[in-house]
Chains A and B, each alone.
Chain A
Amino acid sequence: MFKRWNLKGGLDLEGHKDLSRQYSIINAAIPDQLIYPLVDRSGNAMTVLVKTGDRVLKGQVIAGSKGVQGTLLHAASSGLVKENEWRMIAHPSGLKSWCLIIATDGLDEPGPVYEPVDYTQLSAADICEKVHQAGIVGLGGASFPTAVKITPNNVRAVDTLIINGAECEPYITCDDRLMQQYPSEILLGIQVLLRALAIESCVIGIEEDMPEAIEAIQQAIECSGFKQIQVKVVPAVYPVGGERQLIYLLTGRETPSQGLPVDVGVVCQNVGTVMAVYQAIVKGQVLIERVVTVTGLGIKKPQNRWVRIGTPIKDLVSQCGGYNGPIERLIMGGLMMGFSLPDDGVGITKATNCILVATSKEVTKSSEAEIQPCIRCGECASACPVNLLPQQIYWHSQGGAHQKCQSFGLFDCIECGCCDVVCPSHIPLVQYFRASKSKLFLKRREDEAATLAKQRFENRDTRKVQEKVEREQRIRLKKLALVKLQKGRPSAPAKMQDKS
């Protein structure tokens, strides 16, 4: 039924999916407050487009970021814009940033409603524009603006659309639930994307341990007659849902190191993103809510909910029955790729697929497992799905030779954490790799700044030399004029002689 898992590495992880997968997605309540960090995915500031005290309506644009990768942010409910607040945001750094706050009024009054349109009448450019206007970004976690991914001049010779339904991280079930409950909507979303890309072929990759989702999608394909959409079942091996890993498994194409899927003719979208595209184009709704898995032994009622973007995690937790005893870590994203949050006051972002409330049964404190020296066992290398040699990268990283790490493929590391899990010496390998990546990024930025400074210094130098020459010239001319004047006064003939 499916190709054998022919990637090297990966792990067979305990799924813990049954905590949340059997319950239907329910609508979360509107929180009293919506919190929107005013930074985009790359940390650049977002411009606020409303004023303090303004009343905003549901779906109204409230902020946006500029540039080719700019996105829009919409109010998730109606209410009053409050003073911006400097508060903790959902970011691994635990740093603060300015946040836009909306005090909701509970009326949930919608703003301008877009007429639903027949997507088959839309041009590719129209679709891209609508996707941009709806503020859609990749909901799988990377938050890359979807419109950029499907804009014709950005997609070179693409022939395949891949839909990522392989939810390989433990605990997370939001895509599983989406596929079970909204198969025909997802198929329509795919049709829209295929139209935008002007291609025919689409493959949905779903993990083998989601039989209901596979069934639902296959049935919907039967009913709708969208026969060009293919379902391929992939083995439940972590990290099969990694973009590169899935593309390789489904098409046999290898995305080049430092390259993009488009380089091998593929555009890859997550199931959640496809749903958002459906809602935007077919229903005329902007992206103001997403499905979030709230799970872990630390929450009373694990489940999936349609949550408004901006909802404080605190509210979501209390809607899910509240905390269940002492909590070890509050994780945004999955157990493997997510990051710990310092507290539950931060808001849900477009990238939040899961809130994992973990107890000490599920996560061990890193300090508890004592770190031992590397014994060169090679376990990490056999677990690495990208064929790297983690022990080598680690060796250079801990020695401060970050440049060397790069020559061992540091930037191809997807930070999946497989090497971490298998290392018998409990070395926090990924943490080393992230630190090295940060250092190299910083170096790159510093080098750029140095080049700029050098340029500006040289420009200033040339300008100063020029100014000096001009000044001297002026003085010389002045002197000359003076001499002429002095000579010219007593006798006119002297001037004539000069001319000869």
Chain B
Amino acid sequence: MLWICLLFAFLGVILGYAAFRFKVEGDPLVVEIEALLPQTQCGQCGFPGCKPYAEAIAQGNADINQCPPGGEVGVKALADLLGLDAKPLDESFGIEKEKKVAVIVEVDCIGCTLCIQACPVDAILGAAKYMHTVIASECTGCDLCVEPCPVDCIVMTAINPSVLNWQWPEPIQNRH
């Protein structure tokens, strides 16, 4: 009995070592694809995050036009990378929208922590039975916290133009 135990322990060590020694570094294609995705982590593409979607594309299990936050520009970038033809966004996965940020109406929050569990990037702060709040700079605008809130106190709000994010407008083009 003891010997058998030892043998298995030994084999285990070898396996463990092999796993460590010959570990497959992330597939470079997946890394490249992932770098083009917006990292909103919203799951609209049908995968639980941008990385799983990148893996699916690399394996040929998903099309390149399933990411609404990335929009047409994103599809084009993916097409360029993979040497494919650009195509319009598949609207069955959603349409491209202006980026928003989640805001919790704090007086209504009952502190159920459901939104914390839903947030893919840990952008919500709070503890059970205490008021919760969204760290705006960390929120990707993925919408995932809105649905679970039992009292509907999370509002997706447009990002106000401010001196910080203001952009010089492009001239009106005069085509001839």
Contacts and interface: CB of A to CB of B under 8 A. Distances in A.
Contacts of A95: 161-163, 166
Among B38, B120, B166, B168, find the residue whose CB has the most chain A CB atoms closer than 10 A.
B168
A95 B173 CA distance: 24
B1 A43 contact: no
B27 interface: no
A373 B39 contact: no
Interface in B21-76: 34, 38-41, 49-51
B169 interface: yes
Contacts of A431: 168-171
B65 to A, nearest CB: 19
Contacts of A372: 174, 176
A442 B123 CA distance: 21
A460 B176 contact: no
A434 B162 contact: no
A373 B176 contact: yes
A339 to B, nearest CB: 10
B174 A454 contact: no
B169 A453 contact: no
Given A432-B170, A500-B1, A456 B122 contact: yes
B121 interface: yes
B164 interface: yes
A450 interface: yes
A108 B118 CA distance: 57
A358 B176 CA distance: 31
Interface in A416-440: 428, 431-432, 434-435, 437-439
Interface residues on A, range: 35 or more
Nearest to B137: A449
A92 interface: yes
A432 B167 CA distance: 12
B108 interface: no
B56 to A, nearest CB: 16
A43 B39 contact: no
Interface of A: 39, 42-44, 89, 91-93, 95, 97, 370-373, 398, 428, 431-432, 434-435, 437-439, 442, 445-446, 449-454, 456-461, 500
16 contacts: A92-B168, A93-B161, A97-B162, A372-B174, A372-B176, A398-B173, A428-B171, A431-B170, A432-B171, A442-B167, A449-B39, A449-B137, A453-B138, A454-B51, A458-B51, A460-B120
A435 B167 CA distance: 7
Among B41, B49, B163, find the residue whose CB has the most chain A CB atoms closer than 10 A.
B163
Nearest to A464: B117
Contact of B40 (A97, A453, A460): A453
B113 interface: no
B34 to A, nearest CB: 8
A452 B120 CA distance: 12
Given A428-B171, A432-B170, A456 B121 contact: yes
B120 A439 contact: no
Q: Which 7 A-B pairs give the minimum distances between C-beta atoms?
A: A434-B168, A438-B167, A450-B39, A43-B164, A43-B163, A456-B121, A453-B39
Contacts of A371: 171, 174
B174 A370 contact: yes
Contact of A97 (B120, B140, B163, B176): B163
Nearest to A463: B122
Contacts of B1: 500
Nearest to B49: A457
Contact of B41 (A39, A43, A92, A453): A453
Contacts of A459: 122
B140 A453 contact: yes
A461 B165 CA distance: 31
B47 to A, nearest CB: 12
Among B49, B174, B176, find the residue whose CB has the most chain A CB atoms closer than 10 A.
B174
Contacts of A450: 38-39
A454 B163 contact: no
